């Protein structure tokens, strides 16, 4: 584990878990919210890598606005998904 911090490792594993969960959930609203969690973990990882501007953008855009867009769409189409 040369140079790769344990913190990074935890976040990466959590990110994979969040991605899988958000794709497996049948309820699209919950999936959107879990996708917001995924974006937020990604933002933490970038802040830790020293890419503060990217992390800031991701926090505002990925975890905030794109989750809102997804929820807005889910409310206007069917909420249940077949897979």
Partner 1 sequence: MKKVALAVTLFIGALLLYAAKDFSAWGDLQSPASASPVSKHFIADTGVDTEVPNMVTAVLADYRGFDTMFETVVIFIAGIAIIAILRCTGADADSPALERESDVATEPDLIVTNTVRLLIPVIQLFAFYVLAHGHVSPGGGFQGGVIMGASFILVALAWDLPKAMERLSVDRAVMLAGVGILIYAGIGLLSMLLGGEFLDYAELSHVLPVSPEMARYHAMLGVEIGVAFTVTAVMFAIYANLSTRGRLAGGL
Partner 2 sequence: MFGEDGLLNELLVERFNYCVYVVLLLIGLYAMIAKNNLIKKLIGMSIFQTAIILFYVSIGVKEGGTIPIYVAEHDPHGHHAEHAAHREEANATEATEENATTAAVSNEEDHGHHAPRSLTDEETFGYANPLPHVLMLTAIVVGVATLGVALALTQRIYRAFGTIEEDDVLAAIRAEDASTVIPDLLSTKPKRVKATQRKAKKA
Near partner 1 by CB under 8 A: residue from 19, 57, 67, 82: 57
Among 22, 44, 49, CA closest to 35: 22
Binding to partner 2 (CB under 8 A) within 30-49 occurs at 31-32, 35, 38-39, 42, 45-46, 49
| Residue 76 interacts with partner 1 (CB under 8 A): yes or no | yes
Count of residues near partner 1 by CB under 8 A: 21
Q: What, of partner 1, partner 2, none, does residue 10 touch, CB below 5 to 8 Å by kind?
A: none
Task: Give the number of other Cβ atoms within 10 Å of residue 81's Cβ.
Answer: 11
Count of residues near partner 2 by CB under 8 A: 46
H or E segment at 46?
helix 28-49
d(CA 22, CA 27): 9
């Amino acid at each position: 584990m040369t140079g790769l911090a344990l913190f990074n490792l935890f976040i990466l594993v959590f990110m994979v878990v969040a991605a899988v969960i958000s794709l497996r959930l049948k309820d699209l609203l919950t999936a959107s919210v879990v996708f917001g969690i995924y974006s937020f973990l990604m933002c933490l990882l970038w802040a830790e890598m020293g890419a503060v501007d990217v992390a800031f953008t991701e926090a505002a855009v990925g975890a905030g606005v794109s989750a809102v867009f997804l929820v807005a769409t889910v409310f206007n189409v069917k909420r249940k998904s077949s897979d």
